[in-house]
Chain A
């Protein structure tokens, strides 16, 4: 492999790698604004200056490919002066909005200004201001904060496949906006906020909810579809405030769709059922676990029982249901449900050309691996036990007795006679298999709400109780 020298350290590289990537390997972090590994290179912001021997001027590291024998300095005096100059230009028009800006704390401009800029400012002229266009329900725009890195424009063109953001006018009057001031149409709009190096494009959903440094982060997997995008859940005090994508070049690269990003809302919906309940007439009564577990046990032991497993459950939960069913209701038919029309992986496929898959549940492949046959049409049986993680679409249930185990909202409980509340994908650990067959782990980000219990625990309690008392 060819070698070059960065800050006196020799480093190997593959042909075609640029200096930002190569320098990272020797621990030299080069500040960037416009460069993003998932987008094309434009070298507009001029922040990533490095000094290359035998080249007369400073070079932008993002657009300079590493070459055999190249000697690069990333910390020389000329480089520092160049970066400080760039920082000063970028901050000419940037308002001191940090106290009210949602990006503060995770802002590239803040970090690089702190690391490479000057603490004083030399100009005293008025800053330019803009009237902001409405960008639709996902993104809040604040053009005053923009540094024209054009990451958003390139993201739309190259990743989201829709050219909806443009730069109009030139020079100091440049305006990054949507074409004709229309609202954003893409279903991947949340990414605009992630890639924006300043607080120019922020999420409306997250607006003023929390500051970035207060959030506790957990790396987990999105359960929105069978793609299995890697994401990070950011919560504080058992309340999720947002989800952001994590880098995984084999699955979702750096991106995530809005459906998956805002999917977490149902977890903390006030209408989510978090206490065991049973129907009495038209109303619902909160009942003790013991009573419902006795009923659950007796009803599941009879004939004509159908077990429905949502394909949004983890492999562990599915296996636990399969295994306990042998003792709990040996004659039951075990079927899976998830997305109507996408009952097997052969029917699954990409919904668009970016990330979304047709199956709206995360573990369709896993259910097939465990040999669970899909349910076709309505669920007709004497007793139907539905196990669901919260995302799988409920089938039509025609039964004398129906139990729901898992996550249900109040509007969904009319199908059932009793609800045993379970854990959502943010409250449990487990394995899901995405459409490529990759096994990925869910990590617990939240504590369970209310009296909900894990499905495995519910099954064990039902199996080992005698008249409500747990014996084993």
Chain B
């Protein structure tokens, strides 16, 4: 026969267990480092090698890119489209430089292939958009990120 053990009076109060549980909560709340952060106000620091939003590096306002087309050649997602042109201060420069960010798989091969250190992946990770986004040259030329 199954004996049903009746809990004692103190056990029936659950007070000790409540205090014990509260202690664990308070210990984590008061003395432990917080895991989450308040996102829009606080931001997490990513490693310098993080591959986020692209940008084109510029020196004195002139883009490093010479439209050599190595990044569209190496790009596995075929998301980079460049049209080359000529202007007075630069023999060859990208007239059009577009990155289809939805196609991009953030592999970083473009950055690796670039002989001029022009295309970079920054540590910006907030890239959610409501429509299909193609990064134009003007957008990419703005110097964002940590590099």
Q: A residues within 8 Å of B by Cβ?
A: 98-100, 104, 207-211, 213-214
Q: Nearest residue in A to B72 (C-beta to C-beta)?
A: A214
Segment among B52-60, B83-91, B122-130 that sits at the interface with chain A: B83-91
With A208-B85, A208-B92 in contact, is A99–B73 under 8 Å at CB?
A: no
The 3 closest A-B pairs by CB, nearest first: A99-B68, A208-B84, A100-B92
The residue among B67, B70, B92, B116 with the most chain A CB atoms within 10 A of its own CB is B92
| Contact between chains at A214 and B73 (CB < 8 Å) | yes
A273 to chain B, nearest CB (A): 27
Contacting residues, chain A, for B48 (C-beta < 8 A): none
Q: Does B134 contact A (CB under 8 A)?
A: no
Q: Which residue of A lies closest to B68 (CB)?
A: A99
Question: Within the complex, which residue of A98, A208, A213 is in contact with B73, where a contact is CB–CB below 8 Å?
Answer: A213
Inside 8 A of B116's CB, which chain A residues have their CB?
Answer: 99
Min C-beta distance of B92 to chain A, whole Å: 4
Other 16 A-B pairs with CB < 8 A, given A100-B67, A104-B68, A208-B85: A98-B68, A98-B115, A99-B92, A99-B115, A100-B66, A100-B68, A100-B91, A100-B92, A208-B67, A208-B84, A208-B92, A209-B84, A211-B68, A213-B73, A214-B69, A214-B73
B75 to A: closest C-beta gap in Å: 12
State the B residues within 8 Å of A (CB): 66-70, 73, 84-86, 91-92, 115-116
Tell me whether B66 and A208 are in contact (CB under 8 A): no
Consensus secondary structure, chain A interface: loop
B94–chain A nearest beta-carbon distance, Å: 10
Alpha-carbon separation in the docked complex, A277 to B9 (Å) = 100
Contacts of A99 in B (CB 8 A): 66, 68, 70, 92, 115-116
How many angstroms between the C-alpha atoms of A211 and B68 in the bound complex? 8
B91 (CB) vs chain A CBs: closest residue = A100
Say whether, besides A99-B68, A100-B92, A211 and B73 are in contact (CB < 8 Å).
Answer: yes
B70, B84, B115: residue with the most chain A Cβ atoms closer than 10 Å: B84
In the complex, what residues of B have CB within 8 A of residue A213's CB? 73
C-alpha spacing A19/B91, complex, angstroms? 41
Chain A contacts of B92 at CB under 8 A? 99-100, 208
Q: How far is the CB of A242 from chain B (nearest CB, A)?
A: 15
